[in-house]
Amino acid sequence: MSIDNASDSDLQDFGQALGGEFRDRDIAALAALTPEQRAVQAKLRRELWLHIDSVWEGQERTGVHPVEAGGFGAVAGLRDLLDALCVHVEDAQYAAGDAEGGWLVRVTAEAVE
């Protein structure tokens, strides 16, 4: 199936499937990181999820649910994929015995020339 012809439901299913298929590789890569690096991954993944979720929530605030509005399949798929990525890092942190809440992470952005 071409993504060009995908329905909203298909796009959401793709996001869910990608998250599931990527799980083992992601967990293995996260296991190789330090607790600090996993904390950064958790922070960045959650921040991106919050951004995508704000797009979904913005539509909900109009009084029309995104599913009813249509055209939000990619948003739903990204939300589900990012949710899976957040769960992966939480699972990796737990498996590694990282202290819950043990790292406060501040991520900054700088212009690079």
pLDDT lower than 70: segments of the chain? 1
Q: Could you give the 3-state DSSP secondary structure of residue 101?
A: coil
Are 107 and 40 spatial neighbours (Cβ–Cβ below 8 Å)? yes
Are 11 and 81 spatial neighbours (Cβ–Cβ below 8 Å)? no
Q: Is the pTM of this model over 0.85?
A: yes
- CA dist 100 and 108 (Å) reads 22
pLDDT digits (tens, 9 = 90+) for 4-22: 789 999 999 999 999 999 9
Q: Is 33 left (phi over 0), alpha (psi -120 to 50) or beta?
A: beta
